[in-house]
Structure 1
Amino acid sequence: MTGSRLIRIWCFTAVLSSLSLLAACGISIDAEQARVCRSALPALNPDAAITVERVQTGPVPRSLRVDYLAHYPDRPILERFAICHFVAEGLSPNKTELVGLATEEGPLSGASLYLLKRYYLDTPEGAAGDPGSQPAADVIEIPMDVAYWLQQILVSLPRTAIYALLSVAFALVFGLSGRINLAFGELAAIGSAATIAGASIMLGFGASSPVLGLAAGLAASLFAGAIHSAVGGYFTIGRIVSTSPQPSLIATVGLSLFLMEYLRLVQSPVTVWLPPIWSEAWPLFRAQNFLVSLTPITVITAGIGLIAAVSLLWLVQATSFGRAWRAYADDALAAALMGVNGPRLLIQTLALAGAMAGLSGMLIVAQYGGLGFAGGFQYGLKALIAAIIGGIGSIPGAMLGGFAVGLFETLWSAYLPIEVRDMALYAALVVFLIFRPGGLLGFKDPTPRPV
């Protein structure tokens, strides 16, 4: 398979992922701005209980309108509204700065707005005074136990997608070369830094749209992950020809430390965070006063992970690159005799695996806001565990392992002490290595793989 063909395929994947982002264009209510606007309502209505009825876009750009009811103890319920105007929107770090506020009685003066922000909104009491969104969501009633379990599963979707993509990166390289690259967690951190850089470049050009910012971050993370993985893997795996995998394993440890320090120097030790986007909760079900909700960004990140996984499975099963990869992984000598260029195939595989790791870094930024220069280690370690549990040489097995680890962490955190969760995960790895060393979808032989 030619490099241009591989690039076209991943461009197609990037386009599909961008379409997932574009699907969120209709999400025009920023949750953080809505929280600030709602938090101002108790100060505007002293001694009144506030019931928020709806939040919608305001009459001018970068504004929101909140319709609410003010319940005073000695007079009828009053229907009121507030229109909040903000300095920026989208990915701008100062998008929650309130620059104007108007009610049914007219706009607040500059002095009144300053006092409202300085002595109420910027205090802990002001943040705690948010009356919340509409409480009476028209959703289906379900049992409490089911609602709690379902909420935990929905919250875990992005983390599961991140583990699956990183696990696939391990499976791609190990399946082809029999070597483990321990630097994929750091490559995810590289992808997260590239995502923030791409979004910052768009902000520098005056484009604060989350769609454009994350689309630029998506392209940057794929490129950065692919190029760093290809170059680093070439020297740590491609150039070390020892029959034992240990020299390459040690070399990838050095690569991991190098990338961590390299990222610290380039990015600085201070983690840069993107502001929350598309974080308004969608109510799905109800159990008494507990609402099962889902945020748009959770749907987007999980959808991008699913698209990438399906695209990768198609790539390996239905393209000449996939046939060459499977042939070389099965018998490298026979594949070489049939014309497969092993060194070039290794570089392409390293680039593809790095792109998956970079994409996982982009999902971390989109969902959680950022990732420090040393934050990729834990992600990489857990993804390696997921790849081993699923079958480290099997791409579908690695995806299944990522899902299993994500589900395990979710259920343990929901019902058992969270402080021993990681210990339990590592213990589960030991159990798998004893009783199922090949993983869920790996070799069926009872002996361990040569790791």
Structure 2
Amino acid sequence: MLYFFQQVLNGLHSGALYALLAFGYVLTNGLLHRTNLAYGAMFAFCGHAMILTAAFGYQALWLTLYAAVALGIVAALLYAALISHVLSRSVFEPLADRSPNAIVVTTLGILLVLSEASRIAADTHDLWLPPMLARPVIFAQNAGFKATLTLIQLLDCAAVIGVLALTAWVFARSGFGRSWRAVSDDPRAAAMCGVDVRAVFRLAVLFGGLCAALAGILAGIYYGNISFGTGLVYGLKILFVTAVGGYLSPLKAALGAAAFGMAESLWAGYFPLEWRDAWMYLFLVAMLVLIGAGRDQQKIA
């Protein structure tokens, strides 16, 4: 039982990262209604940029470790704001009314550009941050086993819960939240009612990019490294998870993604790790098929 409790604790951390990514993804795709393959790349690129900047600050600027990491966090958030600015104005807006494949192909190209930019900047070397705040916090124990989370895991979970709670509250009560829901339902009708559709879309892309950057920062600090191909893996998972749950509510998408992270942790604790992603993708595909079949039957009825 204690071992199961440990897997649940592990799932809280991975689920928190997935939840933050899903929340940001739905902010953009709830308006765009197109597959955005660049979102996972932004997560990996910003996490990698944080690590590279921290290494530069520590080695070249002679900063302390925590000051170097703080510099890396600032750089990653600035990169996220810049990439979001370029994506919203130069990619999504011109292609929003065209074929869905146009945005898929374009964002796939952006994914490759960001991945290669990270690889070239690191000279194809993996840079690792030293363990930080790795002191274990014991939640339960018996004679031979302790269920723990490290301090950095607890801080990551607290940061994600705080950001999601504040953002969900603002989203539910602010004018931006009402405008987002209106544009998501029908952008032309929202524009006729006086909503600035372009401004709402640009803010949504910016907030979504900052969520991806924050998730990349938290993952980079905890794991110490983010590889060049991480963005595609995380991006596909979030794409499937949000496709199952729909794009109507960022908070519901975040809760579904957190449950997905918990399921991944439980699988890793009890079944072969090398089969985890295959079975999780199979589960998501099965859910998509069942949901699609249910919608078709409702239309027939």
Note the C-alpha offset of 1:314: 2.0
Distance in 2 (alpha carbons) for counterparts of 1:291 and 1:161: 22
Paired residue type of 1:242 = D
Higher helix share: 2
2:234 paired residue number: 379
Note the C-alpha offset of 1:243: 4.5
Question: Is residue 52–residue 127 contact of structure 2 (8 Å, CA) maintained in 1?
Answer: no
Question: Is residue 388–residue 398 contact of structure 1 (8 Å, CA) maintained in 2?
Answer: no
Where 1:239 maps in the other structure, the secondary structure is helix
Looking at both structures, which has the greater relative contact order when contacts are Cα pairs under 8 Å and sequence separation is at least 6? 2
Residue 158 of structure 1 pairs with residue 13 of structure 2: yes
2:44 paired residue number: 189
1:61 paired residue number: none
Distance in 1 (alpha carbons) for counterparts of 2:187 and 2:244: 25
Note the C-alpha offset of 1:202: 4.8
Question: Is residue 232–residue 255 contact of structure 1 (8 Å, CA) maintained in 2?
Answer: no
Distance in 1 (alpha carbons) for counterparts of 2:297 and 2:84: 31
Note the C-alpha offset of 1:369: 0.3
Distance in 1 (alpha carbons) for counterparts of 2:276 and 2:103: 31
1:406 paired residue number: 261
Note the C-alpha offset of 1:358: 0.7
The 5 Å alignment of 1:1-400 reads 145=1, 147-200=2-55, 202-203=57-58, 204-210=60-66, 212-400=67-255
Distance in 1 (alpha carbons) for counterparts of 2:87 and 2:18: 22
Relative to 1, partners in 2 of residues 1:148 and 1:331: Cα closer, same or farther, differing over 3 Å?
A: same
Note the C-alpha offset of 1:416: 1.9
Distance in 2 (alpha carbons) for counterparts of 1:202 and 1:173: 33
Question: Is residue 14–residue 262 contact of structure 2 (8 Å, CA) maintained in 1?
Answer: no
Note the C-alpha offset of 1:445: 4.6
Q: What RMSD, in angstroms, separates the aligned Cα atoms of the two structures?
A: 2.2
Note the C-alpha offset of 1:209: 5.0
Question: Is residue 280–residue 295 contact of structure 1 (8 Å, CA) maintained in 2?
Answer: yes
Answer with 216-225 or 157-166: which moved more.
Answer: 216-225
Structure 2: which 5+ runs fail to align? none
Question: Is residue 185–residue 376 contact of structure 1 (8 Å, CA) maintained in 2?
Answer: yes
Q: Deviations over 1:135-193 (max 9, x none)?
A: xxxxxxxxxx2x10111121222221111121122211111121221111110112112
Distance in 2 (alpha carbons) for counterparts of 1:366 and 1:266: 19
Q: 1:417 aligns with which of 256, 262, 272?
A: 272
Where 1:180 maps in the other structure, the secondary structure is coil
Percent pairwise identity: 31
Q: 1:428 aligns with which of 279, 283, 286?
A: 283
Where 1:279 maps in the other structure, the secondary structure is coil
Q: Deviations over 1:378-405 (max 9, x none)?
A: 1111122221233234212210221121
Paired residue type of 1:149 = F
Relative to 1, partners in 2 of residues 1:419 and 1:241: Cα closer, same or farther, differing over 3 Å?
A: closer
Distance in 1 (alpha carbons) for counterparts of 2:138 and 2:41: 36
Question: Is residue 175–residue 393 contact of structure 1 (8 Å, CA) maintained in 2?
Answer: yes
Distance in 1 (alpha carbons) for counterparts of 2:191 and 2:4: 51
Relative to 1, partners in 2 of residues 1:310 and 1:296: Cα closer, same or farther, differing over 3 Å?
A: same
Answer with 296-305 or 381-390: which moved more.
Answer: 381-390
Relative to 1, partners in 2 of residues 1:410 and 1:285: Cα closer, same or farther, differing over 3 Å?
A: same
Structure 1: which 5+ runs fail to align? 1-144, 439-443
Paired residue type of 2:164 = A
Question: Is residue 187–residue 229 contact of structure 1 (8 Å, CA) maintained in 2?
Answer: no
Distance in 2 (alpha carbons) for counterparts of 1:447 and 1:226: 43
Distance in 2 (alpha carbons) for counterparts of 1:396 and 1:446: 26
1:21 paired residue number: none
Paired residue type of 1:309 = L
Where 1:429 maps in the other structure, the secondary structure is helix
Distance in 1 (alpha carbons) for counterparts of 2:38 and 2:297: 27
With the length of structure 2 as denominator, give the TM-score of the two structures: 0.90
Answer with 366-375 or 389-398: which moved more.
Answer: 389-398
Note the C-alpha offset of 1:235: 2.7
Note the C-alpha offset of 1:257: 1.2
Paired residue type of 2:140 = F
Higher strand share: 1
Paired residue type of 1:251 = T
Distance in 2 (alpha carbons) for counterparts of 1:274 and 1:425: 29
1:36 paired residue number: none
